[in-house]
Amino acid sequence: MRIATYNINDVRKRIGPLRAWLDVTTPDVVCLQELKCTESEFPFEAMREMGYEALVHGQRAWNGVAILSKGVAPIEIRRRLPGEANDRQARYLEAAVHGLVIASLYMPNGNPQPGPKFDYKLDWFSRFNRHAASLLASGHPVVLAGDYNVVPTNADIYATRSFEDNALLQPAPRAAYQELLEDGWIDALHRQFPDKPAYTFWSYLRNRWPRDAGMRIDHLLMSPAVAVRMREAGVDRAVRGLEGASDHAPAWVELK
């Protein structure tokens, strides 16, 4: 079973690259982020033509997350984090899929920092960690997949000098991510590549894709019940080079 995560950066504009990737790799579950459309605007029929049923939590022009499942429809569990009823940003979706609990998440970016956007990022991260702890305590097989907007360590980015003030590298979100690992979540890409970076994002600016000036901000965290089934993990880097593609590449984990 292959579970993938992909910040698609406007799903309606990226159907071509998405189709090209799915045709070749055929993952069983795909978590999408940054849909930039409402549920009524989501291209459900195009997904069905590719063999996938979709569960969507959308938002006009911004954010938005989805879970695609090959052959069967995901069963919704929740579509927002507990703890803040007034938070209407479409950043979290959780479902039962193929015997697993799967979450697709789009962490707030937090820039510029300091400021209200960074405060919101830390609050969202805190709520996410509390919910993740409850999922871990359940003992269920769970995968938390998505764009975390956190570079875990300096080894996960091509250079840090120009990013010293960026919210993705600040001590507080890094500590929050480390807390997840200390609680017992297993980082699939880090387990697969402990000694080399596995970039998932290359900005459109400053020729960063041709220079391989990337960073790792898309993560798949596995509960122990899933981690024992891990066969391998990776990043489909070639997708980033397709015409009209997102500035992210899909990351994935394959389970026994």
- Look at 160 and 18; give whichever has higher pLDDT: 18
Cβ-contact 54, 26 below 8 angstroms: no
pLDDT in tens, 221-256: 999 999 999 999 999 999 999 999 999 999 999 999
Residue range 170-216, pLDDT digits in tens? 999 999 999 999 999 999 999 999 999 999 999 999 999 999 999 99
Residue 184: what are its φ and ψ, rounded to 5°? 130, 0
Reported as a pLDDT band with limits 50, 70 and 90, residue 161 is confident
CATH of the domain at 114: 3.60.10.10
pLDDT at 67: 98
How many domains are there within the chain? Answer: 1
Provide the pLDDT for residue 155.
96
Mean pLDDT along residues 99-111: 98
Q: In which domain, by residue range, is 39 found?
A: 2-255
**Residue 160: pLDDT band by 50, 70, 90 thresholds?**
confident
Read off the pLDDT of residues 4-51 as tens digits, 9 standing for 90 and up.
999 999 999 999 999 999 999 999 999 999 999 999 999 999 999 999
Cβ count near 76 (within 10 Å): 14
H/E/C letters for each residue in 99-148? CEEEEEEECCCCCCCCCHHHHHHHHHHHHHHHHHHHHHHHCCCEEEEEEC
Average pLDDT of the residues in 122-131:
98
Q: In which residue are the tokens 């391989």 written?
A: 212
The residue written with tokens 């697993």 in the block is 100
pLDDT of residue 162: 84
